[in-house]
Amino acid sequence: MAPAILLSDAYPKDDIANTTAEATKTLDLTKEKDVGLMHRSLVELPYEVVSASGSYIHLSSGASILDGCAGAAVAIVGHGNKEVLAATVAQMEKVSYIHTASYVTSSAEDLANFILEVPPGGFQHGLEKAYFCGSGSEANDAALKLARQYFFEQGQPQRKWYVSRRQSYHGTSIASMSVSSNLPRRIPYQDILMPNVAFVSPAYAYHDQRATETEEEYAGRLIAELESEFQRIGPENIISFIAEPIVGATSGCVPAPKGYFTGVRQVCDKYGILLHLDEIMCGMGRTGTYFAFEQEDIQPDLVAIGKGLSGGYAPVSAVLISKKIVDVLKAGSAAFNHGHTYQSHPVTCATALAVQRIVRRENLIQRCALLGMLLEKMLIDAFSDCRFVGNIRGRGLFWGIEFVKDKATKETFAPSQHFGYNVQQKAFKLGLAVYPGAATVDGVRGDHVIVAPPLNISVVDLGKIVRLLKEAYTQEESQIATL
């Protein structure tokens, strides 16, 4: 059972504000000003970005920041790509908006066909339709509703339960947060979230695999736990199991043990439960294959994608839907009982299509796989012997470094020390952006940072990321040692 957590534990404002203030003073990047925009913080101003190009973000102070995390693993083709900008403007000049209840544009149809296409010799994913939304949260909400409708139309309205995993994150709306287990984000809303959600253990070998277990045995234990939970609820009452193939921000690029997802697929099939994969952060080539689930050799029923779909050039996400689900809807109502004003938006779809064409034409997925092997070696060489680095994990250009107070026992730092956040802040002072994470282990304890640069980053800049991150870590380690 997860420990109790308070809002003050999750968001220690004073310490974070002090650290940020120090960084602001050093870089002189922000000024006090009254603005109408509600930022993520009501007491701290974010840094103003005036332009961005390639793998760099340029600030109003004149400082340039190497984007070592592509924002939030978003900017897969980097910033300021003129081909993407031209495609966006060209679509705007033709038609900027239509209502999808009556109309469609070729940009939406072409994008769906492009991302669902299986190239010769490619992975047969079994996905037939794409439903375009505006954010990852919307995509997961749509997938939850679509899964429910699939059973409703088959005369199984008793299926009301979703099963997810602890230390997962699937979005910030009420429904998507209900199936998430990012505890700090749930705190204010706990009493209004959906009650029909159950959670099983994360696939988190670093902390949860027993010393006496092989990787396969650990996977088998997790699969047995999942089936036991299905039985507890009653498998005839369950709609879907939701999981990230590689867990993103919550625990920091954690892949599942070998055989885990194969076993999950088998257990879901045994009871007719849908498998809903969330690839919003880890998909679209980020892990070295177009879909992260390709490396698990399974076919999901629903897949949520986002972030890298448009590379950050437009707000767009999608639910990819298997033939099995499409066939049931066709035979029943012949419609998905759901809709958005900006669904399949012409401009966002044209923008995303331009990004995806660049990814394919420039072989960025294959490049990501190769650079991923190089980045893995660089990170291991730089950090494996570090006193407070417990685990380095990931795939492709999606890597997490977990920090621990004691490598032998895997004891974490006290949340009040903000070790991972401080490393991120020190890296920022050096001109590098990485993605920080806290509450890594159980929603309260643990620290990590994520490295997830653009897929077309240069080898020189890849090395620079590791060098600057190591320098930031060394500064924090030295500071801890003097306390």
Name the pLDDT band for 27 (thresholds 50, 70, 90). very low
**In which band, very low, low, confident or very high, does the pLDDT at 382 lie, cut at 50, 70 and 90?**
very high
Question: What is the pLDDT, as a whole number, of residue 28?
Answer: 43
CA dist 50 → 4, 56, 88, 462 (Å): 42, 11, 20, 24
Please indicate whether residue 36 or residue 356 has the higher confidence score (pLDDT): 356
Q: Is the pLDDT of residue 22 over 50?
A: no
Confidence of residue 481 (pLDDT cuts 50, 70, 90): confident
Tell me how far apart the alpha carbons of residues 439 and 36 are, in angstroms, rounded to a whole number.
31
How does DSSP assign 223-283, residue by residue? Answer: HHHHHHHHHHH-GGGEEEEEE-SEE-TTTTSEEPPTTHHHHHHHHHHHHT-EEEEE-TTTT
Look over the chain and give the mean of its residue pLDDT values, rounded to a whole number.
93
Tell me which architecture the domain covering 82-361 has in CATH.
Answer: 3-Layer(aba) Sandwich (3.40)
The whole-angstrom separation of Cα 159 and Cα 136 is 24
Average pLDDT rounded to a whole number, residues 90-95: 98
Q: Residue 290: which of 142, 124, 83 has the closest Cα?
A: 124
Confidence of residue 342 (pLDDT cuts 50, 70, 90): very high
Choose among 353, 356, 355, 371: nearest CA to 455: 371
Reading the block at residue 321, the tokens are 């839907």
Between 410 and 41, where is the model more confident?
410
Cα separation, 364 vs 371, in Å, equals 10
- pLDDT class of 14 with cuts at 50, 70, 90: very low
- Burial state string for 405-426 with b = 16 or more CB within 10 A and e = fewer than 16: beeeeeebbebebbbbbbbbbb
Which residues, at least 6 apart from 182, have a Cβ–Cβ distance to it below 8 Å?
167, 168, 169, 249, 250, 439, 443
What is the arithmetic mean of pLDDT over 276-287?
98
What percentage of residues in the chain have a pLDDT greater than 90?
89
Structure confidence at residue 263 (pLDDT): 98
Residue 278, exposed/middle/buried by CB under 10 A (0-12, 13-18, 19+)? buried
pLDDT at 25: 37
Judge whether residue 101 has pLDDT over 80: yes
Q: Which fold has domain 7-80+364-481?
A: Aspartate Aminotransferase, domain 1 (3.90.1150)
Which helix (H) or strand (E) segment holds residue 161: the answer is: strand 161-165
User: How far is Cα 173 from Cα 340, in angstroms, rounded to an integer?
Assistant: 15
Q: Is the pLDDT of residue 441 over 70?
A: yes
pLDDT for 243 beyond 60: yes
pLDDT band at 35 (very low <50, low <70, confident <90, very high): confident
Q: Which whole number is the average pLDDT over 330-340?
A: 96
pLDDT at 483 (0 to 100): 65
Report pLDDT for 34. 67
pLDDT above 80 (res 258)? yes
Length of the chain: 483
Could you tell me the pLDDT band of residue 43, with boundaries at 50, 70 and 90? confident
Domain ranges of the chain: 7-80+364-481, 82-361
C-alpha distances out from residue 274 to 116, 150, 323, Å: 20, 9, 12
Q: Which of 18-22, 230-234, 371-375, 437-441 has the lowest mean pLDDT?
A: 18-22
Cα 29 versus chain centre, distance: 28
Res 182: pLDDT: 87
pLDDT at 33: 61
Question: In this model, does residue 170 exceed pLDDT 90?
Answer: yes
Entry pTM: 0.93
The model's pLDDT over 304-320, given as tens digits with 9 standing for 90+, comes to 999 999 999 999 999 99
